[in-house]
Amino acid sequence: MSYQQQEKERIRSNKAYMGCYALLGLCAIPFLWMLGVQVLPIDNILLGLLFIVLVVVGVVLILVFLARRNERDAQTWFELNGHEVLATVTAKKEDPSQRDGEGNPAYLLQLAWRDPVTGTPRSFWEETYEMRYKRYAIGSHLMVQYDPQDLSFHEIRWYR
């Protein structure tokens, strides 16, 4: 496997595990609280609450750092190896057979463009949030960075 492929897989796995990191960080809070109670001489409830707040803030900062680092790594990978195109929303659909954790249907947008090198038409379906689904009408344009050999590895610049 080439270095380029290894970097792509590392970025992909880091993105996939970000939710696990967040859950692990939240699960660590009670453990750290117990550790703080046993190690630190916490007689005052305010000091205990301050300790919890500092731990939560620390976990959040670490997660933000990891997410930003992964975004920078992906951006660097796409600048060196990928293509950037202006894609058009060509279709939209709600898929009631796929549901999220709250029971909502999956919201899908189809993005299409012509490959800048070969001129061949390319497209893929992207699952998104309801808010984005409603915001982007058919004919809307979005910037997409992608791996020309693997369309499943892509980043979309969602305009705010």
For 74-105, write each residue's pLDDT tens digit.
888 888 888 899 999 999 998 877 777 777 78
According to DSSP, residue 96 is labeled E
Backbone torsions φ then ψ of 119, nearest 5 degrees? 80, 5
Backbone torsions φ then ψ of 120, nearest 5 degrees? -75, 145
The stretches of 1-160 forming alpha helices (DSSP H) are 3-39, 45-81, 130-135
Same domain, 66 and 96: no
What was the pLDDT predicted at 34? 65
Domain limits at 10? 3-80
Q: Which of 53, 80, 107 is the last residue of a domain?
A: 80
What was the pLDDT predicted at 143? 92
Q: Which of 50, 80, 110 is the last residue of a domain?
A: 80
* Segment 41-54 mean pLDDT: 70
Would you say residue 136 has pLDDT above 60? yes
The answer to whether the beta carbons of residues 42 and 32 sit under 8 Å apart is no
Same domain, 66 and 124: no
136 vs 105, higher pLDDT = 136
What was the pLDDT predicted at 85? 92
18 vs 118, higher pLDDT = 118
Backbone torsions φ then ψ of 96, nearest 5 degrees? -70, -15
Same domain, 43 and 111: no
Q: Which residues contact 84 (CB under 8 A, 6 or more apart)?
A: 78, 143, 144, 145
What was the pLDDT predicted at 42? 55
What was the pLDDT predicted at 90? 95
Same domain, 111 and 72: no
* Segment 5-9 mean pLDDT: 82
Q: Which residues contact 14 (CB under 8 A, 6 or more apart)?
A: 66, 70, 73
* Segment 111-127 mean pLDDT: 91
Same domain, 139 and 100: yes
86 vs 37, higher pLDDT = 86
Same domain, 59 and 86: no
